Structures are given as structure tokens and as C-alpha cells.
Amino acid sequence: MAEITAEMVKLLREATSAGVLDCKKALTETSGDFEGAVEILRKKGLASAAKKASREANEGLIGVYVHPGSKVASVVEVNCETDFVARTDEFQQLSRDLAMHVTAARPTWVAREDVPADIIAKEREVYGEQMATSGKPAQVVERIVEGKLDKWYSEVCLLEQPFVKDADITIQELLTNRIASLGENIKVRRFSRLEVGAE
């Protein structure tokens, strides 16, 4: 088995932001395999991020983005658990990125739970009418309607939109990654998008 050196632990810590003991344990588990250790820590971080998602988040920042030309701008309230994390460069960058995303992607609500029931009912009715003459069985039509509704949520709900800086992840996945790296629950509480001349 390869010897686990302080330098290896240091490099892994820099790459993952995990604690010293966690880094040493992961390297020991993988017999010094750096990539394997990163993967262990990543899984552990995402698992602990899921646990942290239920914790209170009452600190945070207002992220602001003004598009060049000053015709459109967004503000986003992003919450975390402590003022210490709110002051970190990583959290501040996240707040700015989220405000920029809102400016570019124009979400209407933060999460699908925020969408009023009457609006969901109207969307469902529209998709149902589109499928009415398809001749497909009722259960197939229902699945198609649910699929169309999911696609609609991914267009209008911030957390379900693909991140404008990395379309491979959603905003929710971006937040989960930051929860894992910063070690605190992080939530988007609300946002507002302003555009000159728009309602």
C-alpha cells in the first residue's frame, strides 16, 4: 500500500475543500489513488449536503447583476446558515451567478411548489386538449401531459432550469454542489428581474 504523505493530503484538501482527517481517510481507503479519493469525498459531500438541506438558513446576501447597457437587471436573495459563509468568495460568486442567471433565463418562480394551483391546472388543461384528438389511451395521454408539465417547470422554475454557465447542471444541482463544498444549507428565497419598458 502506498504511503499517505502530508503533501497528498494537502493536495486532496485543496481539490475538494474536505477536512484533513476526511482526506487522509479517503486516501487510505483508495490506497493513495487521488481520483478515487476525490470520488469518495464527492459522494460523501453530496450525501451530507442532502442532510443539510433541512437546516434553517437565515443569513446570506442579495446577489445583484446589471446587464451591460443597464436595460435589464436582477436581484436574488440567497440564504445560508452563517454570516461567516455569506462573506466567503464562493458564496458571493454564487449570489452573482444566480442573479446573472435570472437575468438571462427569466424564471417566474423559485420552485414548482411556488406555482399557484390554478396556473398548473390551466397548463394541464392546455396539454390535455392538445392530446385530446391523438387517439392514444387515457393513461398514455396522462403520462405525456405529465412529461409536458415537467418540461414547462424546467422553463419557469429557477431551481429546475439548466444553469446558464453550465447547461449540464440545473440550478438545484449547483446549489447542492455549493452546500457540499461550503458545508451549510443554501436556499434561494426570492428574486426579482427588472427590464426597462417591460411589465
CATH for the stretch 6-52:
1.10.8.10
Does the global pTM surpass 0.85? no
pLDDT at 140: 83
In CATH, which of 3.40.190.10, 3.30.1330.10, 3.30.479.20, 3.40.50.1010 is domain 59-110+157-195?
Answer: 3.30.479.20
Instruction: Give CATH 1.10.286.20 domain extents, the chain.
Output: 116-156
pLDDT at 92: 95
Topology at the third CATH level for domain 116-156: GTP Cyclohydrolase I; Chain A, domain 1 (1.10.286)
Q: What's the gap between Cα 22 and its chain centre?
A: 25
For the chain, 199 residues long, the average pLDDT of each consecutive 10-residue run is: 78 72 83 84 63 70 94 95 91 96 96 93 87 80 88 95 93 89 89 89
* 33's grid cell: 489513488
For every residue of the chain, which 3-state class applies, written as one string? CCCCCHHHHHHHHHHHCCCHHHHHHHHHHCCCCHHHHHHHHHHHHHHHHHHHCCCCCCEEEEEEEECCCCCEEEEEEEEECCHHHHCCHHHHHHHHHHHHHHHHHCCCECCHHHCCHHHHHHHHHHHHHHHCCCCCCHHHHHHHHHHHHHHHHHHHEHHHCEECCEEEEEHHHHHHHHHHHHCCCCEEEEEEEEECCCC
pLDDT at 104: 95
